[in-house]
Structure 1
Protein backbone atom coordinates (compact mmCIF):
# COMPACT_ATOMS: atom_id res chain seq x y z
CA UNK A 1 0.00 0.00 0.00
CA UNK A 2 1.41 3.37 -1.01
CA UNK A 3 2.03 6.15 1.49
CA UNK A 4 -0.63 8.33 -0.17
CA UNK A 5 -3.22 5.59 0.13
CA UNK A 6 -2.34 4.96 3.80
CA UNK A 7 -2.65 8.69 4.51
CA UNK A 8 -6.03 8.74 2.80
CA UNK A 9 -7.32 5.88 4.93
CA UNK A 10 -5.90 7.47 8.09
CA UNK A 11 -7.46 10.90 7.48
CA UNK A 12 -10.62 9.86 5.64
CA UNK A 13 -13.05 9.50 8.54
CA UNK A 14 -11.70 12.52 10.51
CA UNK A 15 -12.10 14.74 7.43
CA UNK A 16 -15.65 13.50 6.86
CA UNK A 17 -16.52 14.18 10.50
CA UNK A 18 -14.98 17.64 10.26
CA UNK A 19 -17.05 18.39 7.15
CA UNK A 20 -20.24 17.18 8.86
CA UNK A 21 -19.39 19.26 11.95
CA UNK A 22 -18.85 22.37 9.81
CA UNK A 23 -22.15 21.90 7.99
CA UNK A 24 -24.04 21.30 11.25
CA UNK A 25 -22.67 24.39 13.04
CA UNK A 26 -23.34 26.56 10.00
CA UNK A 27 -27.03 25.59 9.89
CA UNK A 28 -27.84 25.12 13.59
CA UNK A 29 -27.06 27.01 16.78
CA UNK A 30 -26.00 24.81 19.67
CA UNK A 31 -24.28 26.50 22.60
CA UNK A 32 -22.46 23.29 23.55
CA UNK A 33 -21.01 22.59 20.09
CA UNK A 34 -18.69 25.40 18.93
CA UNK A 35 -17.83 26.11 15.32
CA UNK A 36 -14.58 24.49 14.12
CA UNK A 37 -12.97 27.87 13.39
CA UNK A 38 -13.77 29.16 16.88
CA UNK A 39 -12.50 25.96 18.48
CA UNK A 40 -9.21 26.07 16.57
CA UNK A 41 -8.76 29.72 17.50
CA UNK A 42 -9.16 28.87 21.21
CA UNK A 43 -6.99 25.78 20.81
CA UNK A 44 -3.93 27.67 19.58
CA UNK A 45 -4.44 30.68 21.84
CA UNK A 46 -4.77 28.56 24.98
CA UNK A 47 -2.38 25.66 24.56
CA UNK A 48 0.35 27.23 22.39
CA UNK A 49 0.92 30.21 24.64
CA UNK A 50 2.57 30.38 28.07
CA UNK A 51 0.24 27.56 29.12
CA UNK A 52 2.24 25.15 26.94
CA UNK A 53 5.15 25.38 29.38
CA UNK A 54 3.10 25.74 32.56
CA UNK A 55 0.51 23.02 31.84
CA UNK A 56 1.10 20.92 28.71
CA UNK A 57 4.73 20.01 29.37
CA UNK A 58 4.10 19.06 33.04
CA UNK A 59 1.22 16.80 31.94
CA UNK A 60 3.36 15.11 29.29
CA UNK A 61 6.28 14.68 31.70
CA UNK A 62 4.04 12.98 34.28
CA UNK A 63 2.50 10.79 31.59
CA UNK A 64 5.85 9.67 30.16
CA UNK A 65 7.44 9.21 33.60
CA UNK A 66 4.57 7.00 34.78
CA UNK A 67 4.52 5.02 31.54
CA UNK A 68 8.31 4.59 31.53
CA UNK A 69 8.37 3.32 35.12
CA UNK A 70 5.49 0.97 34.34
CA UNK A 71 7.37 -0.53 31.41
CA UNK A 72 10.57 -1.08 33.41
CA UNK A 73 8.79 -2.53 36.46
CA UNK A 74 6.30 -4.57 34.44
CA UNK A 75 8.91 -6.23 32.23
CA UNK A 76 11.44 -6.82 35.02
CA UNK A 77 8.98 -8.23 37.56
CA UNK A 78 6.93 -10.07 34.92
CA UNK A 79 10.01 -11.79 33.48
CA UNK A 80 11.10 -13.03 36.92
CA UNK A 81 7.61 -14.21 37.88
CA UNK A 82 7.10 -15.92 34.55
CA UNK A 83 10.51 -17.59 34.63
CA UNK A 84 10.45 -18.82 38.24
CA UNK A 85 7.44 -21.06 38.76
CA UNK A 86 7.25 -21.00 42.56
CA UNK A 87 7.30 -17.18 42.61
CA UNK A 88 4.44 -17.15 40.11
CA UNK A 89 2.38 -19.51 42.26
CA UNK A 90 3.13 -17.43 45.36
CA UNK A 91 2.28 -13.99 44.01
CA UNK A 92 -0.38 -14.66 41.36
CA UNK A 93 -3.40 -14.47 43.78
CA UNK A 94 -2.08 -11.22 45.28
CA UNK A 95 -1.52 -9.64 41.87
CA UNK A 96 -5.00 -10.62 40.70
CA UNK A 97 -6.49 -9.02 43.83
CA UNK A 98 -4.54 -5.76 43.47
CA UNK A 99 -5.26 -5.56 39.75
CA UNK A 100 -9.01 -5.76 40.45
CA UNK A 101 -8.93 -2.58 42.56
CA UNK A 102 -10.08 0.45 40.49
CA UNK A 103 -7.17 2.84 40.25
CA UNK A 104 -9.26 5.98 40.65
CA UNK A 105 -10.42 4.87 44.10
CA UNK A 106 -6.82 5.18 45.26
CA UNK A 107 -6.71 8.94 44.64
CA UNK A 108 -7.93 9.82 48.20
CA UNK A 109 -5.47 7.32 49.70
CA UNK A 110 -2.54 8.64 47.69
CA UNK A 111 -3.49 12.22 48.55
CA UNK A 112 -3.25 11.35 52.24
CA UNK A 113 -0.01 9.38 51.88
CA UNK A 114 1.86 11.46 49.31
CA UNK A 115 0.00 14.75 48.96
CA UNK A 116 -0.95 16.88 45.95
CA UNK A 117 2.22 16.69 43.89
CA UNK A 118 3.71 15.06 40.81
CA UNK A 119 4.74 11.94 42.76
CA UNK A 120 1.11 11.18 43.55
CA UNK A 121 0.05 11.47 39.91
CA UNK A 122 2.97 9.37 38.65
CA UNK A 123 2.29 6.72 41.31
CA UNK A 124 -1.34 6.52 40.22
CA UNK A 125 -0.33 6.08 36.58
CA UNK A 126 2.22 3.40 37.48
CA UNK A 127 -0.25 1.49 39.66
CA UNK A 128 -2.68 1.29 36.73
CA UNK A 129 -0.32 0.79 33.80
CA UNK A 130 2.02 -1.79 35.28
CA UNK A 131 -0.53 -4.62 35.31
CA UNK A 132 -1.18 -5.06 31.57
CA UNK A 133 2.58 -5.04 30.95
CA UNK A 134 3.40 -7.34 33.85
CA UNK A 135 0.68 -9.91 33.12
CA UNK A 136 1.40 -9.94 29.38
CA UNK A 137 5.10 -10.43 30.16
CA UNK A 138 4.27 -13.35 32.44
CA UNK A 139 2.03 -14.87 29.75
CA UNK A 140 4.72 -14.41 27.11
CA UNK A 141 7.47 -15.94 29.24
CA UNK A 142 5.38 -18.95 30.29
CA UNK A 143 4.32 -19.67 26.69
CA UNK A 144 7.87 -20.24 25.42
CA UNK A 145 8.41 -23.73 24.01
CA UNK A 146 10.09 -25.99 26.57
CA UNK A 147 12.15 -27.59 23.80
CA UNK A 148 13.77 -24.23 23.11
CA UNK A 149 14.49 -23.69 26.79
CA UNK A 150 15.98 -27.16 27.19
CA UNK A 151 18.10 -26.66 24.08
CA UNK A 152 19.43 -23.39 25.50
CA UNK A 153 20.42 -25.20 28.69
CA UNK A 154 22.11 -28.01 26.78
CA UNK A 155 24.29 -25.65 24.75
CA UNK A 156 25.42 -24.01 27.98
CA UNK A 157 23.70 -20.63 27.98
CA UNK A 158 23.65 -18.97 31.38
CA UNK A 159 20.37 -17.87 32.97
CA UNK A 160 21.16 -14.27 32.06
CA UNK A 161 21.88 -15.19 28.43
CA UNK A 162 18.72 -17.30 28.23
CA UNK A 163 16.71 -14.37 29.52
CA UNK A 164 18.40 -11.93 27.13
CA UNK A 165 18.56 -13.96 23.93
CA UNK A 166 15.61 -16.34 24.27
CA UNK A 167 13.01 -15.44 26.88
CA UNK A 168 12.56 -11.68 26.34
CA UNK A 169 12.71 -11.79 22.51
CA UNK A 170 10.20 -14.65 22.41
CA UNK A 171 7.87 -12.85 24.83
CA UNK A 172 8.28 -9.44 23.15
CA UNK A 173 5.07 -9.62 21.01
CA UNK A 174 2.95 -10.04 24.14
CA UNK A 175 4.99 -7.48 26.04
CA UNK A 176 4.35 -4.92 23.29
CA UNK A 177 0.63 -5.76 23.42
CA UNK A 178 0.66 -4.99 27.14
CA UNK A 179 2.46 -1.68 26.58
CA UNK A 180 -0.09 -0.69 23.95
CA UNK A 181 -2.92 -1.33 26.42
CA UNK A 182 -1.13 0.81 28.99
CA UNK A 183 -0.87 3.81 26.65
CA UNK A 184 -4.60 4.54 26.83
CA UNK A 185 -4.72 3.79 30.56
CA UNK A 186 -1.83 6.20 31.24
CA UNK A 187 -3.55 9.02 29.36
CA UNK A 188 -6.82 8.45 31.21
CA UNK A 189 -5.16 8.39 34.64
CA UNK A 190 -3.11 11.48 33.82
CA UNK A 191 -6.32 13.39 33.08
CA UNK A 192 -8.25 12.02 36.08
CA UNK A 193 -5.46 12.78 38.54
CA UNK A 194 -5.20 16.34 37.23
CA UNK A 195 -8.95 16.87 37.40
CA UNK A 196 -9.24 15.97 41.07
CA UNK A 197 -5.83 16.68 42.58
CA UNK A 198 -3.91 19.34 40.71
CA UNK A 199 -3.47 23.04 40.17
CA UNK A 200 -2.01 22.69 36.68
CA UNK A 201 -2.10 20.38 33.69
CA UNK A 202 -4.43 19.68 30.76
CA UNK A 203 -6.97 17.80 32.86
CA UNK A 204 -7.12 20.56 35.48
CA UNK A 205 -7.82 23.29 32.95
CA UNK A 206 -10.28 21.20 30.93
CA UNK A 207 -12.50 20.63 33.98
CA UNK A 208 -11.92 24.24 35.03
CA UNK A 209 -13.22 25.48 31.67
CA UNK A 210 -16.23 23.18 32.00
CA UNK A 211 -17.05 24.59 35.45
CA UNK A 212 -16.80 28.12 34.02
CA UNK A 213 -19.06 27.11 31.09
CA UNK A 214 -16.28 28.05 28.67
CA UNK A 215 -17.40 25.50 26.10
CA UNK A 216 -14.95 26.19 23.25
CA UNK A 217 -12.06 26.24 25.72
CA UNK A 218 -13.23 22.94 27.23
CA UNK A 219 -13.41 21.30 23.80
CA UNK A 220 -9.91 22.60 23.02
CA UNK A 221 -8.59 20.59 25.98
CA UNK A 222 -10.40 17.48 24.74
CA UNK A 223 -8.95 18.05 21.25
CA UNK A 224 -5.45 18.34 22.69
CA UNK A 225 -5.85 15.09 24.64
CA UNK A 226 -7.05 13.35 21.47
CA UNK A 227 -4.02 14.60 19.53
CA UNK A 228 -1.70 13.40 22.30
CA UNK A 229 -3.36 9.98 22.26
CA UNK A 230 -3.03 9.63 18.48
CA UNK A 231 0.60 10.78 18.59
CA UNK A 232 1.45 8.22 21.27
CA UNK A 233 -0.20 5.49 19.21
CA UNK A 234 1.66 6.44 16.02
CA UNK A 235 5.02 6.65 17.81
CA UNK A 236 4.39 3.31 19.51
CA UNK A 237 3.54 1.62 16.22
CA UNK A 238 6.75 3.01 14.71
CA UNK A 239 8.82 1.51 17.52
CA UNK A 240 6.85 -1.74 17.46
CA UNK A 241 7.53 -2.32 13.78
CA UNK A 242 11.27 -1.97 14.38
CA UNK A 243 11.45 -3.95 17.61
CA UNK A 244 9.25 -6.74 16.24
CA UNK A 245 10.55 -6.69 12.66
CA UNK A 246 11.31 -10.43 12.85
CA UNK A 247 7.79 -11.16 14.14
CA UNK A 248 6.10 -9.07 11.47
CA UNK A 249 8.17 -10.88 8.86
CA UNK A 250 6.99 -14.25 10.16
CA UNK A 251 3.35 -13.14 10.03
CA UNK A 252 3.76 -11.95 6.44
CA UNK A 253 5.23 -15.31 5.43
CA UNK A 254 2.34 -17.13 7.09
CA UNK A 255 -0.18 -14.99 5.23
CA UNK A 256 1.50 -15.56 1.84
Structure 2
Protein backbone atom coordinates (compact mmCIF):
# COMPACT_ATOMS: atom_id res chain seq x y z
CA UNK A 1 0.00 0.00 0.00
CA UNK A 2 2.80 2.37 0.89
CA UNK A 3 4.61 1.60 -2.37
CA UNK A 4 1.42 2.23 -4.38
CA UNK A 5 0.89 5.57 -2.63
CA UNK A 6 4.49 6.55 -3.39
CA UNK A 7 4.10 5.64 -7.08
CA UNK A 8 0.85 7.63 -7.25
CA UNK A 9 2.62 10.62 -5.71
CA UNK A 10 5.39 10.52 -8.33
CA UNK A 11 2.81 10.23 -11.13
CA UNK A 12 0.66 13.15 -9.94
CA UNK A 13 3.21 15.45 -8.29
CA UNK A 14 4.56 17.17 -11.41
CA UNK A 15 1.15 17.61 -13.13
CA UNK A 16 -0.28 19.14 -9.94
CA UNK A 17 2.73 21.43 -9.64
CA UNK A 18 2.34 22.59 -13.26
CA UNK A 19 -1.41 23.17 -12.88
CA UNK A 20 -0.79 25.19 -9.71
CA UNK A 21 1.84 27.28 -11.50
CA UNK A 22 -0.55 27.81 -14.42
CA UNK A 23 -3.34 28.85 -12.02
CA UNK A 24 -1.29 31.57 -10.33
CA UNK A 25 0.51 32.70 -13.50
CA UNK A 26 -2.78 33.26 -15.36
CA UNK A 27 -4.83 34.52 -12.43
CA UNK A 28 -6.06 38.04 -13.11
CA UNK A 29 -5.03 37.89 -16.77
CA UNK A 30 -6.99 40.21 -19.08
CA UNK A 31 -5.34 38.95 -22.27
CA UNK A 32 -8.03 37.52 -24.54
CA UNK A 33 -5.62 34.84 -25.80
CA UNK A 34 -4.43 33.88 -22.30
CA UNK A 35 -7.54 33.49 -20.13
CA UNK A 36 -7.23 32.55 -16.45
CA UNK A 37 -7.23 28.85 -15.73
CA UNK A 38 -10.26 29.47 -13.51
CA UNK A 39 -12.21 30.59 -16.60
CA UNK A 40 -11.07 27.58 -18.62
CA UNK A 41 -12.10 25.12 -15.89
CA UNK A 42 -15.48 26.85 -15.52
CA UNK A 43 -16.05 26.63 -19.28
CA UNK A 44 -14.93 22.99 -19.53
CA UNK A 45 -18.17 21.24 -18.38
CA UNK A 46 -20.30 23.55 -20.53
CA UNK A 47 -18.32 22.70 -23.68
CA UNK A 48 -17.56 19.01 -23.23
CA UNK A 49 -20.98 17.60 -22.52
CA UNK A 50 -21.84 13.93 -23.03
CA UNK A 51 -23.15 14.69 -26.52
CA UNK A 52 -19.99 16.60 -27.46
CA UNK A 53 -17.81 13.77 -26.20
CA UNK A 54 -19.71 11.25 -28.33
CA UNK A 55 -19.62 13.52 -31.38
CA UNK A 56 -15.92 14.49 -31.26
CA UNK A 57 -13.85 12.57 -28.72
CA UNK A 58 -15.18 9.08 -29.49
CA UNK A 59 -14.47 9.31 -33.28
CA UNK A 60 -10.97 10.60 -32.52
CA UNK A 61 -10.29 7.69 -30.17
CA UNK A 62 -11.58 5.14 -32.66
CA UNK A 63 -9.34 6.55 -35.41
CA UNK A 64 -6.37 6.60 -33.06
CA UNK A 65 -6.92 2.98 -31.99
CA UNK A 66 -7.42 1.81 -35.58
CA UNK A 67 -4.29 3.53 -36.88
CA UNK A 68 -2.25 2.48 -33.86
CA UNK A 69 -3.37 -1.15 -34.13
CA UNK A 70 -2.58 -1.24 -37.86
CA UNK A 71 0.88 0.23 -37.21
CA UNK A 72 1.51 -2.29 -34.43
CA UNK A 73 0.63 -5.29 -36.61
CA UNK A 74 2.64 -4.07 -39.61
CA UNK A 75 5.58 -2.86 -37.52
CA UNK A 76 5.98 -6.03 -35.48
CA UNK A 77 5.48 -8.33 -38.48
CA UNK A 78 7.90 -6.52 -40.79
CA UNK A 79 10.35 -5.84 -37.97
CA UNK A 80 10.48 -9.53 -37.08
CA UNK A 81 11.23 -10.51 -40.69
CA UNK A 82 13.83 -7.79 -41.22
CA UNK A 83 15.50 -8.42 -37.88
CA UNK A 84 15.67 -12.18 -38.41
CA UNK A 85 17.43 -12.19 -41.79
CA UNK A 86 20.66 -10.29 -42.37
CA UNK A 87 20.27 -10.05 -46.15
CA UNK A 88 16.73 -8.69 -45.90
CA UNK A 89 17.96 -6.15 -43.37
CA UNK A 90 20.82 -5.05 -45.65
CA UNK A 91 18.39 -4.48 -48.52
CA UNK A 92 15.66 -2.75 -46.51
CA UNK A 93 17.63 -0.50 -44.15
CA UNK A 94 18.46 2.29 -46.67
CA UNK A 95 14.81 2.47 -47.78
CA UNK A 96 13.56 2.44 -44.18
CA UNK A 97 15.91 5.25 -43.18
CA UNK A 98 14.73 7.31 -46.15
CA UNK A 99 11.03 6.79 -45.40
CA UNK A 100 11.52 7.38 -41.67
CA UNK A 101 13.05 10.79 -42.41
CA UNK A 102 9.87 11.96 -44.19
CA UNK A 103 7.60 13.72 -41.63
CA UNK A 104 4.13 12.10 -41.62
CA UNK A 105 2.26 15.47 -41.78
CA UNK A 106 3.92 16.10 -45.16
CA UNK A 107 2.23 12.94 -46.45
CA UNK A 108 -1.27 14.19 -45.61
CA UNK A 109 -1.91 15.79 -49.06
CA UNK A 110 -0.58 12.65 -50.78
CA UNK A 111 -2.74 10.34 -48.64
CA UNK A 112 -5.79 12.54 -49.36
CA UNK A 113 -5.24 11.98 -53.09
CA UNK A 114 -5.39 8.20 -52.68
CA UNK A 115 -7.67 7.73 -49.66
CA UNK A 116 -10.00 10.72 -49.90
CA UNK A 117 -10.99 12.88 -46.95
CA UNK A 118 -12.82 10.31 -44.83
CA UNK A 119 -11.76 8.24 -41.86
CA UNK A 120 -9.51 6.09 -44.04
CA UNK A 121 -7.21 9.06 -44.65
CA UNK A 122 -6.98 9.90 -40.96
CA UNK A 123 -6.28 6.30 -39.97
CA UNK A 124 -3.62 6.06 -42.70
CA UNK A 125 -1.91 9.24 -41.46
CA UNK A 126 -1.81 7.91 -37.89
CA UNK A 127 -0.52 4.50 -39.01
CA UNK A 128 2.14 6.03 -41.28
CA UNK A 129 3.69 7.85 -38.34
CA UNK A 130 3.25 5.21 -35.64
CA UNK A 131 4.74 2.35 -37.64
CA UNK A 132 8.37 3.58 -37.61
CA UNK A 133 9.23 3.45 -33.89
CA UNK A 134 7.50 0.06 -33.64
CA UNK A 135 9.24 -1.31 -36.73
CA UNK A 136 12.73 -0.08 -35.86
CA UNK A 137 12.53 -1.15 -32.22
CA UNK A 138 11.27 -4.58 -33.28
CA UNK A 139 14.20 -4.94 -35.69
CA UNK A 140 16.70 -4.07 -32.97
CA UNK A 141 14.96 -6.31 -30.43
CA UNK A 142 14.97 -9.31 -32.77
CA UNK A 143 18.61 -8.70 -33.69
CA UNK A 144 19.55 -8.66 -29.99
CA UNK A 145 18.07 -12.10 -29.22
CA UNK A 146 20.70 -14.13 -27.36
CA UNK A 147 22.36 -16.57 -29.77
CA UNK A 148 22.86 -19.07 -26.94
CA UNK A 149 19.12 -19.07 -26.31
CA UNK A 150 18.45 -19.55 -30.02
CA UNK A 151 20.85 -22.48 -30.26
CA UNK A 152 19.40 -24.04 -27.12
CA UNK A 153 15.90 -23.82 -28.56
CA UNK A 154 17.09 -25.40 -31.80
CA UNK A 155 18.80 -28.25 -29.96
CA UNK A 156 15.55 -28.99 -28.11
CA UNK A 157 13.62 -29.04 -31.37
CA UNK A 158 11.77 -25.78 -30.76
CA UNK A 159 11.33 -24.41 -34.27
CA UNK A 160 8.83 -22.58 -36.43
CA UNK A 161 5.96 -20.74 -34.75
CA UNK A 162 6.91 -22.02 -31.28
CA UNK A 163 10.42 -20.61 -31.61
CA UNK A 164 9.05 -17.31 -32.93
CA UNK A 165 6.57 -16.96 -30.08
CA UNK A 166 8.52 -18.27 -27.10
CA UNK A 167 12.06 -17.23 -27.99
CA UNK A 168 12.22 -14.42 -30.56
CA UNK A 169 9.17 -12.30 -29.71
CA UNK A 170 9.46 -12.91 -25.98
CA UNK A 171 13.11 -11.82 -25.94
CA UNK A 172 12.37 -8.80 -28.14
CA UNK A 173 9.17 -7.79 -26.29
CA UNK A 174 10.79 -5.16 -24.00
CA UNK A 175 12.14 -3.35 -27.06
CA UNK A 176 8.86 -3.79 -28.93
CA UNK A 177 6.94 -2.22 -26.05
CA UNK A 178 9.41 0.67 -26.03
CA UNK A 179 8.49 1.30 -29.68
CA UNK A 180 4.78 0.99 -28.89
CA UNK A 181 5.15 3.57 -26.12
CA UNK A 182 6.85 6.04 -28.47
CA UNK A 183 4.25 5.40 -31.16
CA UNK A 184 1.37 6.22 -28.81
CA UNK A 185 2.45 9.84 -28.34
CA UNK A 186 3.12 10.18 -32.08
CA UNK A 187 -0.34 8.77 -32.80
CA UNK A 188 -2.07 11.37 -30.60
CA UNK A 189 -0.25 14.19 -32.40
CA UNK A 190 -1.10 12.80 -35.84
CA UNK A 191 -4.71 12.22 -34.78
CA UNK A 192 -5.08 15.96 -34.15
CA UNK A 193 -3.19 16.96 -37.32
CA UNK A 194 -5.22 14.65 -39.55
CA UNK A 195 -8.47 16.07 -38.17
CA UNK A 196 -7.40 19.59 -39.09
CA UNK A 197 -7.61 18.65 -42.79
CA UNK A 198 -11.05 18.34 -44.38
CA UNK A 199 -12.76 16.96 -41.27
CA UNK A 200 -16.25 17.43 -39.87
CA UNK A 201 -15.68 16.09 -36.35
CA UNK A 202 -12.93 15.11 -33.94
CA UNK A 203 -10.82 16.89 -31.36
CA UNK A 204 -8.50 18.53 -33.88
CA UNK A 205 -11.43 19.81 -35.96
CA UNK A 206 -13.26 21.18 -32.90
CA UNK A 207 -10.20 22.97 -31.50
CA UNK A 208 -9.58 24.67 -34.85
CA UNK A 209 -13.25 25.69 -35.08
CA UNK A 210 -13.06 27.28 -31.63
CA UNK A 211 -9.93 29.16 -32.69
CA UNK A 212 -11.52 30.42 -35.92
CA UNK A 213 -14.62 31.61 -34.04
CA UNK A 214 -12.43 33.34 -31.42
CA UNK A 215 -13.92 31.17 -28.67
CA UNK A 216 -10.57 31.21 -26.89
CA UNK A 217 -11.60 29.68 -23.51
CA UNK A 218 -13.38 26.90 -25.42
CA UNK A 219 -10.23 26.33 -27.47
CA UNK A 220 -8.17 26.01 -24.29
CA UNK A 221 -10.64 23.46 -22.90
CA UNK A 222 -9.99 21.34 -26.02
CA UNK A 223 -6.24 21.57 -25.47
CA UNK A 224 -6.70 20.64 -21.80
CA UNK A 225 -8.89 17.68 -22.76
CA UNK A 226 -6.26 16.54 -25.25
CA UNK A 227 -3.62 16.60 -22.52
CA UNK A 228 -5.86 14.64 -20.15
CA UNK A 229 -6.54 12.10 -22.89
CA UNK A 230 -2.81 11.63 -23.49
CA UNK A 231 -2.20 11.20 -19.76
CA UNK A 232 -4.94 8.59 -19.36
CA UNK A 233 -3.76 6.62 -22.41
CA UNK A 234 -0.20 6.71 -21.10
CA UNK A 235 -1.26 5.34 -17.70
CA UNK A 236 -3.36 2.60 -19.33
CA UNK A 237 -0.46 1.66 -21.59
CA UNK A 238 1.91 1.50 -18.61
CA UNK A 239 -0.48 -0.84 -16.79
CA UNK A 240 -0.79 -3.08 -19.86
CA UNK A 241 2.99 -3.08 -20.32
CA UNK A 242 3.54 -3.95 -16.68
CA UNK A 243 1.17 -6.89 -17.01
CA UNK A 244 2.58 -8.16 -20.31
CA UNK A 245 6.21 -7.77 -19.22
CA UNK A 246 5.80 -8.94 -15.64
CA UNK A 247 8.56 -11.52 -16.11
CA UNK A 248 10.95 -8.85 -17.40
CA UNK A 249 10.32 -6.38 -14.59
CA UNK A 250 10.60 -9.25 -12.10
CA UNK A 251 14.04 -10.14 -13.44
CA UNK A 252 15.14 -6.51 -13.26
CA UNK A 253 13.92 -6.13 -9.68
CA UNK A 254 15.69 -9.34 -8.69
CA UNK A 255 18.97 -8.23 -10.27
CA UNK A 256 18.75 -4.85 -8.50
CA UNK A 257 18.24 -6.50 -5.12
CA UNK A 258 21.14 -8.90 -5.67
CA UNK A 259 23.47 -6.06 -6.69
Question: Same fold, TM exceeding 0.5?
Answer: yes
Query: Which residue number corresponds to residue 229 of structure 2?
Result: 228
Query: Which residue number corresponds to residue 178 of structure 2?
Result: 177
Note if contact 2:199-2:205 (Cα within 8 Å) is conserved in structure 1: yes
Query: Which residue number corresponds to residue 251 of structure 1?
Result: 252
Q: Per the alignment, do residues 26 and 189 of structure 1 end up closer, same or farther by CA in structure 2, a change over 3 Å counting?
A: closer
Q: Per the alignment, do residues 49 and 166 of structure 1 end up closer, same or farther by CA in structure 2, a change over 3 Å counting?
A: same
Note if contact 2:27-2:38 (Cα within 8 Å) is conserved in structure 1: no
Query: Which residue number corresponds to residue 93 of structure 1?
Result: 94
Query: Which residue number corresponds to residue 139 of structure 2?
Result: 138
Gaps of 5+ in 2: none
Query: Which residue number corresponds to residue 124 of structure 2?
Result: 123
The alignment covers a number of residue pairs equal to 256
1:208 partnered with 2:213: no
Deviations 1:55-81 (A, max 9, x none): 111001000110111111111111111
Distance across 1 between alignment mates of 2:83 and 2:14: 42
Distance across 2 between alignment mates of 1:191 and 1:78: 27
Note if contact 2:59-2:202 (Cα within 8 Å) is conserved in structure 1: yes
Query: Which residue number corresponds to residue 159 of structure 1?
Result: 160
Distance across 2 between alignment mates of 1:27 and 1:44: 21
TM-score with structure 2 setting the length: 0.93
Distance across 2 between alignment mates of 1:167 and 1:230: 31
Distance across 2 between alignment mates of 1:28 and 1:205: 25
Query: Which residue number corresponds to residue 46 of structure 2?
Result: 45
Question: 1:142 deviation in Å?
Answer: 0.6
Gaps of 5+ in 1: none
TM-score with structure 1 setting the length: 0.94
Query: Which residue number corresponds to residue 147 of structure 1?
Result: 148
